[in-house]
Structure formats: C-alpha cells, structure tokens
Amino acid sequence: MPKIGINIATGSLQQQEMIVGIDLGTTNSLVAIIHPESRKPVVLKEHDGNALVPSVIHFGEAGLVSVGDEAKKYLVAEPHNTIFSVKRLMGKSYNDVRDYSSFFTYKVIDDNSESLVKVQVGDTFYSPIELSSYILKELKARAEHILKTPVTKAVITVPAYFNDAQRQATRDAGRLAGLDVLRIVNEPTAASLAYGLGLRNDETKTIAVYDLGGGTFDISVLRITGGIFEVLSTNGDTYLGGDDFDRAIAQYWSVKLGLTDEELNTNKNIAQELRLLAEEAKKQLSSVTEFKGSIAGEELVLTREEFENLAKPFVDRTIQCCKNAMQDAQLHVADIDEVVMVGGSTRVPLVKKSVAEFFGRALHDSLNPDEVVALGAAVQADILAGNNKDFLLLDITPLSLGIETMGGLMDVLIPRNSKIPSKAGRQYTTQKDGQPGMRISVYQGERDLVKDNRKLAEFNLTGIPGMPAGLPKVEISFLVNADGILVVKAKELRSGVEQSIEVKPQYGLTDEEVEKMLLDSITHAKEDIQIRALVEAQTEAR
C-alpha cells in the first residue's frame, strides 16, 4: 500500500502557545499535554489526583450549571435535570435514538423525527452541541487552572465511525467552548500514537486497536513503519459500549424486583439508581466474583458468571466487528503483531479473554485504558505545533464517495478505505445540445445504482455556454479534508464557470446503515454488475 506524505507541521507555532489534546468521552472526558521537560504525554490532574471529568451536566436553580463530579451527585436526586451520555446524541435524529430513548432519564425531544435531537430541561431546549460545549468549557477551565496560561487551541478525538454530521457537531461544540479545534482525530488512531512513541524508526508493525468505551466501540487495524502511521481499516458500532453492560444488568435486576418498563419510565429516580448500581457492579466484578447491593431495602446480588452471560452478546458483537476489520484490511489474524486495548470497558475480564482468544496473543494494555486516547491527542497536538516531525498520520474514508451519472449509475471518485486527506477529480460533459447547466448529485455507498446508496448533497452548475452535446468539459473534484468533511467542486474548463459545496448532512448514517450498505454491496454484487452493463449499453445507444 503506498505511503502518502502530508506536511501537516507549519513550524510557526512551536511552544509559543499551548495546544491541548482532549478526549471527549461518553462516560468521562479528560485533557492532556506534552510535558515541556520530559517531552512525554501526560494527562492533567487536579490536586486530588483525578484526571477524569465525568461527562455529566447538571442544570440547577437560577441558571447554575455544574459539570463533572459535582454534576454527577445529582444523577439520582434530579435525573430530569442531569444530562449524561450526551455523546450518544451527537449528530443524531430522534429516529436514530428512538430504540434507546428509555436509557435516558432526561427528556429527549421527538417533535420532528427527521431533525437533530434536542434535550429539554425545564422550559429550555439544548442541542447535543451546546451540552458538549459545557463539558469542553470545563476541560478548558481545568487546563487553564493547572497550566496557569490561556488555552485556546485543541485537538479533539471522536470514534472512527463518527460520520460527517457527528464530526462537525464536535467541532462546533469546541467553537462554542471558545476553542479553535485544529484537528478532529479518530480515537483508535490517537491511541496508536500514544503507544507508537516507543517504536524504533527501523521497525514495522501491524497493530489492532480495540477500543471499547462507555458508549462506542471501534476496532482499527494500523501499520506503523518508521514513524508513519497507516490506518488499513476501521470498523465499529456507535451504539455499543459499557453503557450496554450497565443497562443489561439494570434490566436483569428490574425483573428480579418485579419492575415493569412503564414503572421505570415514570420513576426516573429508581431507574437512575439501578443504572448507577449496575455500573458499580460491573466495575467490582472485574476483581471479585460476586457483587451485593441494595435498592429501597431490597438486596441485589450478581455473580461474575451471571454478568458474563449478560455481557456476552455485546462482546460477541465487538468480535464480529474485529472480523470485518481484518477482512477489510485483507489480513489474517496471524498478521497482527500487537493488540492494543483502549477504553475503560476493556477492564472487564470477559472482554480481555475474548479479544485474546480471537487474536491468539497477549494483549498490550500497559497504559491506562481511560487515558490513552487523550495522551495520543496530545501527541497529535504536538505534531500540529511543529514540535514532533517524527510521526505522520493517515486516516481513511469508511464508505465510497461519488456522483450520479447518466442512467442513475454511481461513479465513484473516492473509493472506500482511501487515505485522507484525499483529493480526486474526473471530467464529464453534457448530454444535450445547448445544455446550460448540470446537476451534481453526491452519494455515499458501495452499490452500482445511486438509488441504493445514500444521497449526501446536490447542487447545480449553471452558466455553461451553449455548445453541442459532448463539447463542454466539466471537471468534478472531491476533497476530503483531515477531519473527514467532503468538499465538492464543479468547474466548466472552457468558460471557467465554477460552483462548490461543503457536504455537511443534517444527520448521518447509523452504524446499522453502514453495515447494511457494506453487506448489500456484497450480496448484490453480481446483480449490480449486470444492471450497470445494461444501463451503460442503453446510454451508449442513445
């Protein structure tokens, strides 16, 4: 696979201003920097030694907003006013989260199932972008307090499977928090940077990064050669994580207590208390074989074996994603040199056992799995500051990008798993004499017909001079920038008429849609080839 050199270091910043790395997590968030003396990444800790900021926001009386540990105190007492797992809502419509709505103890608005979700607290409506900005403001304030210097620039990490809308939402949240977001980086890629610091320049390794956090799962296969990081494939699930373990335990206990879903929906305090106790049980069962707790005077018991039976379906789903990632990378399990474990949920013994069995080797978990993503974000921030030219990061596009051509065919300009930043262009022409314009329809997917793919955007190139059909030369160019945002340009080369659009879909693909699109492209491959041949023949005949 060819290596692509990208000069991402301007050299102008150096150490004149602080660029921080931020892991904006579902359950916890944290901020890290490169230590100016040791030149090693370190997470910023308060005087109590705690680096993690719970991703929880509480709205109190008189407009008082608290974030982190202070907000977490209100999860049981004021569940309607206390927001958690907001990352699950980023860039989502109500249709995307409807099946999980009972998980949220606060009110997720469903007045328009096609638009982005809002959260209602009292009489006020908040977007997930606004809510995330409160967490980022807290991290910014923490960094400024510890470093005793203003912090205005950051690198923020997101799951590899986040689509355009979710990445843009994260960037907007940073802007609301007063941060110039220099780069959006995939979490597994950031983790690989943190572990890659110790690699020798003459060493080549293929690494699998298994990242199971509170709300998302990613598996990435990376090749590291002489300090160059190449992402060979990514796979994952934006609705799979430790929260699912908690919910499974809570549901198991609610049956034991004789509580119905209706009762849990009306009594949010009990639901929240169950969720918190389930989370505690999950943590303790990593080191003990039995957990005992109580709610409203009722004793609740859970053994590790019972917990593993509840967790197994979710762990099995992660292993299936691992298989998919290996197929996409065109590698066998034996080709993997090292397996990196990331995310607090990887502490669960069943997870470690299942991953070790699948890859057939010992796991690499020497760094704190809660901190490793933030540490990698700090390394990326250092690269952007021009202080570390030893590393180069190459990410990929998860699905093919193309335009609609005559007969409704999909013409792919940037194939799936292409390196980003990526640019591609192709020339097209008109179908009719004197045609004054051309409609450019942009699609994402793997099928040969655009009707089977997902439409991202559409715009018109107008002002094409009157010429016979086939004479105008219209160049369509796609540019996917470092954050995975697509810019499409159309230019008529003879006249210089030009039009462009930045593709920011209102909300993006769910993980199920991505999986379905990939599966459909395989199952319908033969049928698609036949249809494409027929359409092309019909088009030629015209």
Handedness of CA 85, 89, 91, 92 (dihedral sign): positive
Reported as a pLDDT band with limits 50, 70 and 90, residue 396 is low
Q: Where are the alpha helices (DSSP H) in 117-267?
A: 128-147, 164-176, 187-196, 242-257, 261-266
Does residue 200 register a pLDDT over 70? no
Residue 236 scores a pLDDT above 60: yes
Span of 162-171, 349-358, 382-391, 471-480 with lowest mean pLDDT: 382-391
Mean pLDDT, range 268-273, rounded to an integer: 84
The pLDDT of residue 246 is 94
* Type and span of the H or E element at 373: helix 372-384
Distance CA 376, CA 32 (A): 9
Distance CA 316, CA 95 (A): 26
Q: Which sign does the torsion angle of CA 427, 430, 435, 440 carry?
A: negative
Calculate the average pLDDT of the chain: 84
Q: DSSP letter for 117, please.
A: P
Mean pLDDT of 497-518: 63
Cβ count near 175 (within 10 Å):
13
Q: How confident is the model at residue 14 (pLDDT cuts 50, 70, 90)?
A: very low
- Give the residue with greater pLDDT, 227 vs 192: 192
Cα(453)–Cα(279) distance, integer angstroms: 39
What span, in angstroms and rounded, lies between the C-alpha atoms of 112 and 72? 30
Q: What's the farthest any 2 CA atoms get from each other in the chain? A: 84
Q: Best-predicted range by mean pLDDT among 165-169, 334-338, 379-383?
A: 334-338
CATH topology of domain 242-309: Actin; Chain A, domain 4 (3.90.640)
Q: How many CA atoms does the CB half-sphere of 445 hold within 13 Å? A: 27
Q: How confident is the model at residue 111 (pLDDT cuts 50, 70, 90)?
A: low
Q: Which two tokens stand for residue 529?
A: 């080839």
Average pLDDT over residues 412-432: 84
Lowest-confidence region among 18-32, 193-207, 497-511: 497-511
Q: CA-to-CA distance for 295 and 290, rounded, in angstroms? A: 17
Multiple choice CATH, 401-541, 2.60.34.10, 3.90.1150.10, 3.10.105.10, 2.10.260.10: 2.60.34.10
Q: Which of 4-8, 75-79, 255-259, 472-476 has the lowest mean pLDDT?
A: 4-8
Q: What is the pLDDT of residue 112?
A: 62
Q: Residue 485's pLDDT is what?
A: 72
Cite the residue boundaries of each domain of the chain with CATH code 3.30.420.40: 19-241+310-396
Q: What is the pLDDT at residue 8?
A: 32
Predicted local distance difference test score (pLDDT) of residue 374: 97
Quickly count: other Cβ atoms within 10 Å of residue 95's Cβ: 15
Flag whether pLDDT at 212 surpasses 90: yes
Alpha-carbon gap, residue 468 to 209, rounded angstroms: 55
pLDDT score for 4: 26
Q: Which DSSP string do the residues of 313-333 spell out, in sequence order?
A: HHHHHHHHHHHHHHHHTT--G
Q: Which residue intervals of the chain bear CATH 3.90.640.10?
A: 242-309
Query: Omega before 54 cis (within 30°)?
Result: no
Contact 259, 270 (CB under 8 A): yes
> What local confidence, expressed as pLDDT, does residue 197 receive?
45
CA distances from 184 to 22, 172, 501 (A): 10, 11, 20
Distance of alpha carbon 534 from alpha carbon 406, whole angstroms: 12
What would be the CATH architecture of the domain defined by 19-241+310-396? Answer: 2-Layer Sandwich (3.30)
In terms of residues, how long is the chain? 542
pLDDT of 372 above 50 = yes
**Whole-number Å distance between alpha carbons of 476 and 404:** 12
CATH 2.60.34.10, the chain: domain bounds: 401-541
Query: What are the tens digits of pLDDT across the range 434-474?
Result: 888 888 898 888 888 888 888 888 888 888 888 888 888 89
Q: What is the per-residue pLDDT for 2?
A: 25
Cα(538)–Cα(516) distance, rounded to whole angstroms? 29
- Cα angle 389, 394, 396 (rounded to 5 degrees) comes to 165
Question: What is the spatial distance between Cα 121 and Cα 433, in angstroms, rounded to a whole number?
Answer: 59
Say if residue 378's pLDDT is above 70: yes
Backbone φ and ψ for 242, nearest 5 degrees, come out as -60, -30
Q: How far is CA 446 from CA 412, 453, 458, 477, in A?
A: 9, 7, 19, 19
> End-to-end alpha-carbon separation of the chain, Å?
40
The alpha carbon dihedral of 18, 23, 28, 34 has a sign of negative
Average pLDDT over residues 138-149: 94
The predicted-structure confidence for 330-340, as pLDDT tens digits, reads as follows 999 999 998 99
- CA gap 240, 182 in Å, rounded: 28
Confidence of residue 9 (pLDDT cuts 50, 70, 90): very low
Residue 448 neighbours by CB under 8 Å, 6+ apart: 409, 410, 528, 529, 531, 532
Amino acid in the structure at residue 264: L
H runs (alpha helix) in 24-121 = 69-72, 94-97
Checking if the pLDDT of 16 tops 60, the result is: no
Residue 504 or residue 335, greater confidence: 335
Q: Residue 13: what pLDDT?
A: 34
pTM for this entry: 0.67
**CA-based nearest residue to 435, from 406, 409, 465, 414:** 465
pLDDT over threshold 90, residue 322: yes
Q: Indicate the residue type of 301.
A: V
Instruction: Please identify every residue annotated as catalytic.
Output: 23, 87, 187, 211
Q: How far apart are CA 185 and CA 163, in angstroms?
A: 12
Query: Where are the strands (E) in 310-416, listed by range?
Result: 338-342, 392-396, 401-405, 409-414
- Which position has the higher pLDDT, 390 or 349? 349
Read off the pLDDT of residues 173-199 as tens digits, 9 standing for 90 and up.
999 999 999 889 888 888 888 877 444
